[in-house]
């Protein structure tokens, strides 16, 4: 049981890394620095590029901050809530899957550059850890304890004395 809990916490660490690197990239995007980290969400970078193209001034900044903050907030809530509910791993994994699909579409629509390969591979590895966290959490916390379940309390012969009137 302890081994599964350690694996679950390691997968939660991957979710934290994705969240922190996406937050740092959000700072880079807002300050218009030409930098980015691997493992971060790709969709905020595309949204900021479109916001720079279509908007100007404060509206551009507001669009970038709101869109980036929304993605970071979802990952942060997923990380914090995954401590008690493994379902949040699935939420983060689905969003990160959509993010990977958007990255793939972007890469395939452009002239192929070799520097995208590492980013795609690391995105895929992080996605594996997110889904792994969901399945480990389901294995670890998804079992119904027959003695703590209200539905099974009345059916259990070992605790029959608790249900007699």
Please tell me whether residue 40 adopts helix, strand or coil conformation.
Answer: coil
Compute how many other C-beta atoms are within 10 angstroms of the C-beta atom of residue 82.
25
User: Average pLDDT for residues 81-90, to the nearest whole number?
Assistant: 91
Q: Where are the domains of the chain?
A: 2-163
**According to the model, what pLDDT value does residue 79 have?**
94
Q: pTM of this prediction? A: 0.77
Confidence of residue 143 (pLDDT cuts 50, 70, 90): low
Query: CA 13 to CA 9: how far, in whole Å?
Result: 6
Q: Give the per-residue pLDDT at 151.
A: 44
Higher-pLDDT residue of 23, 150: 23
Give the whole-angstrom CA distance, residue 34 versus residue 20.
18
Dihedral over Cα of 67, 68, 71, 72: its sign:
negative
């Amino acid at each position: 049981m302890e081994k599964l809990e350690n694996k679950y916490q390691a997968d939660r660490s991957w979710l934290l890394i994705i969240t922190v690197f996406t937050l740092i990239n959000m700072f880079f995007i807002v300050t218009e620095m030409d930098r980015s980290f691997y493992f971060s969400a790709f969709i905020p970078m595309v949204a900021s590029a479109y916001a720079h193209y279509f908007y100007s001034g404060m509206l551009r900044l507001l669009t970038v901050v709101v869109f980036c903050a929304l993605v970071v907030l979802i990952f942060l809530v997923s990380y914090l809530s995954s401590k008690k509910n493994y379902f949040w791993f699935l939420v983060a994994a689905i969003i990160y899957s959509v993010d990977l699909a958007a990255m793939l579409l972007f890469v395939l629509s452009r002239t192929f550059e070799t520097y995208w390969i590492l980013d795609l591979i690391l995105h895929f590895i992080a996605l594996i850890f997110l889904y792994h966290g969901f399945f480990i959490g389901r294995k670890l916390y998804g079992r119904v304890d027959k003695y703590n379940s209200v539905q099974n309390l009345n059916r259990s012969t070992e605790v029959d004395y608790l249900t007699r009137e």
